[in-house]
Amino acid sequence: MKILIHDYSGHPFQAQLSRELARRGHDLVHSTCAAYVSGKGNLVGDSSGPRFVTIGDGLALKKDAYFRRLFQESGLGLELARQMRQERPDVAMLANLPIPVLVVAAAVLRQLRIPWVLWQQDMTGVALKTLATANVAKSMGIAAKVFTAGEKWSARRAAAIVVIADSFVRVHDQWDTAVKVTVIPNWAPLDEIVPVARINAWSTEQGLNNVRTLVYSGTLGLKHNPLLLVQLAARLRDRGTPVRLVVVNEGPAVPVLRDAASAHGIELTLLPFQPYERLPEVLGTGDVLLVVLGTDAGQFSVPSKTLSYLCAGRPVLGLMPVDNLAARLLRQAGSAVFSPEEASLDAAAAWVERVLVDPEHAERLGKEGRAVAEREFALEHCASRFEDILRSVSRPTKH
């Protein structure tokens, strides 16, 4: 079976899935968007694995110029469609696509009569509607309706749909698409993200060996309130526990964090996304690893960084909705989850303080997190479920 998987973001676990399906004998093409800036997984191929290809090479996405971005993303949809036309897979699977890219790609796949699976990682229209309702940005109301219509239209044309949490199914019930939905939670690559010593080559290079560190690594949007990271560090300092805040990120949150840290007198290390092969060292450098997720994203977003953190075997603090799937995993691991609000920071700081002053407790939390990851993130079972879905909708092989 020839399969084309397009993961717009280039996440580690989706590349791992492609490698496993290729190992099982499938002709696998793994496509990503080079223009999307994020922490990428291992996207280097070899003779025995999938073939890695890209769209958006040389393109600089204008995230804050909405009309230009809409034009750019529509163009990326056409570029992905040309890739599909060239590769002619028996089945395709699309993940993490912005709605304009998704709609254009779905339309062309329908024209080419290539069956495809929607691997739905979030619900953009629902999130925008929540923002508009909460008076965060009422102008988003129109965008929410348009994007929801695009998501719904695309879902109805997918041959099958994979979602990452049960909460998605309620929306698909409303769209009359629930009959083709399968729930498969996300995971992280256990064999690629492994626990390492707190003092390692990366921590030495960054001068982080002899300081207490709070580490955030991954995508960070303004809607997630990145200021909470600085405010948490300030609470700890005021309690007599100074820390170094380390943030590995590229995007609009960077200048906000820099200015806030300067205003509060917080020691801050800001770094761009690091090479994927260094990720275990980056995460291992954190005495506590941090996750921030806005209240609007509670039901329809599972931050993949949380899953990577568990693999790394470090204590994790989540400032996130308590009903989020990732929050439940953190609680299973004995780590802490607090509401993403300033009012929660005193309790969060007290929890971090206990971890920092009790090395045995911190080590125990890390081991429990790794144990949860090893129990929940078994690749073979997930890959078999995806393989069954792809095979069930694939057109007859002509290769």
Is residue 132 predicted with pLDDT exceeding 70?
Answer: no
Per mean pLDDT, which range of 73-77, 98-102, 223-227, 353-357 is the poorest? 223-227
> Would you say how long the chain is, in residues?
399
Are 20 and 30 in contact by the 8 Å Cβ rule? The answer is no
Residue 192 inside a domain? The answer is no
Pairing of strands 116-120, 160-163: parallel
What distance in Å separates the CA atoms of residue 90 and residue 78, rounded to the nearest whole number?
A: 19
What distance in Å separates the CA atoms of residue 291 and residue 70, rounded to the nearest whole number?
A: 29
pLDDT at residue 397, as a whole number = 63
Residue 157 inside a domain? The answer is yes
Residue 195 inside a domain? The answer is no
Are 33 and 54 in contact by the 8 Å Cβ rule? The answer is yes
Q: What is the mean pLDDT of residues 284-303?
A: 82
Confidence category of residue 127, pLDDT binned at 50, 70, 90: low
- The CATH number linked to 46 is 3.40.50.2000
Q: Which residues pair with 247 in a beta bridge?
A: 216, 270
Is residue 222 predicted with pLDDT exceeding 80?
Answer: no
Crossing angle of helices 304-312 and 325-332, rounded to 10°: 10
pLDDT at residue 224, as a whole number = 78
Are 337 and 303 in contact by the 8 Å Cβ rule? The answer is no
Is residue 110 predicted with pLDDT exceeding 70?
Answer: yes
pLDDT at residue 294, as a whole number = 79
Residue 119 inside a domain? The answer is yes
263 and 285 together in one domain: yes
% of the chain at pLDDT higher than 70: 91
Are 95 and 116 in contact by the 8 Å Cβ rule? The answer is no
Both structure tokens of 19: 């490698």
Q: What is the mean pLDDT of residues 36-57?
A: 88
Residue 151 inside a domain? The answer is yes
147 and 250 together in one domain: no
Q: What is the mean pLDDT of residues 341-361?
A: 94
39 and 84 together in one domain: yes
What distance in Å separates the CA atoms of residue 198 and residue 191, rounded to the nearest whole number?
A: 19
pLDDT at residue 45, as a whole number = 82
Q: pTM of the entire structure? A: 0.85
- Cα dihedral 199, 42, 270, 365 in deg (nearest 10): -50
Is residue 225 predicted with pLDDT exceeding 80?
Answer: yes
Amino acid identity of residue 229, one-letter, is L
353 and 251 together in one domain: yes
Is residue 139 predicted with pLDDT exceeding 70?
Answer: no
Confidence category of residue 47, pLDDT binned at 50, 70, 90: confident
Q: How far, CA to CA in Å, does 184 sit from each of 115, 229, 298, 301?
A: 20, 31, 17, 13
Average pLDDT of every residue of the chain? 89
148 and 13 together in one domain: yes
Range of the domain at 33: 2-187+378-393
Q: How many domains is the chain built from?
A: 2
What distance in Å separates the CA atoms of residue 174 and residue 367, rounded to the nearest whole number?
A: 41
159 and 209 together in one domain: no
Residue 193 inside a domain? The answer is no
Q: What is the mean pLDDT of residues 331-346?
A: 91
What pLDDT digit, counting tens, does each position of 161-218 carry? 999 988 899 999 999 999 999 999 999 999 999 999 999 999 999 999 999 999 999 8
Are 315 and 287 in contact by the 8 Å Cβ rule? The answer is yes
Residue 399 inside a domain? The answer is no
What distance in Å separates the CA atoms of residue 322 and residue 311, rounded to the nearest whole number?
A: 21
139 and 157 together in one domain: yes
82 and 118 together in one domain: yes
163 and 306 together in one domain: no
138 and 273 together in one domain: no
Confidence category of residue 399, pLDDT binned at 50, 70, 90: very low
12 and 118 together in one domain: yes
96 and 84 together in one domain: yes
- Cα dihedral 75, 77, 79, 80 in deg (nearest 10): 170
